[in-house]
Amino acid sequence: MEPEAGARERLLAAALTLFNDKGYAAASVRELVQGAGVTKPVLYYYFRNKEGIYLELMENAYRTFETLAERVVSLDGSAQDRIIQFCSEMFDISLERLPQVRLIYAIYYGPPQGAPQFDLEAYFFRMVELTQRLVNEGVAAGELEENNVEDMARAIIAILTSSINEQLCQRPTRLDRETMVRMLRLLMGGMAKD
Same domain, 27 and 106: no
Same domain, 95 and 12: no
Q: How confident is the model at residue 175 (pLDDT cuts 50, 70, 90)?
A: confident
192 - beta bridge partners? Answer: 144
Same domain, 107 and 72: yes
Interval 79-124: pLDDT, tens? 999 999 999 999 999 999 999 999 999 998 888 788 888 888 888 8
Percent of the chain past pLDDT 90, that is, above it, reads 70
Same domain, 160 and 95: yes
- Per-residue pLDDT for 3 more than 70? no
Q: CB–CB of 100/158 below 8 Å?
A: no
Same domain, 28 and 63: no
Same domain, 26 and 77: no
SS3 165: helix
**Sequence-distant (≥ 6) Cβ neighbours of residue 141 within 8 angstroms:** 78, 79
Count of domains forming the chain: 2
CATH number at residue 26: 1.10.10.60
Same domain, 2 and 90: no
**Average confidence score pLDDT of the chain:** 91
CATH number at residue 115: 1.10.357.10
Q: How confident is the model at residue 169 (pLDDT cuts 50, 70, 90)?
A: confident
Same domain, 137 and 88: yes
If we measure between CA atoms, which residue out of 183, 193, 165, 191 comes closest to residue 84?
Answer: 183
Same domain, 21 and 95: no
The pLDDT value recorded for residue 45 is 93
The pLDDT value recorded for residue 2 is 62
Domain's final residue, options 12, 30, 48: 48
Interval 45-74: pLDDT, tens? 999 999 999 999 999 999 999 998 888 888
Q: Which domain holds residue 37?
A: 1-48
Model confidence, pTM: 0.88
Same domain, 43 and 65: no
Same domain, 25 and 113: no
Same domain, 74 and 148: yes
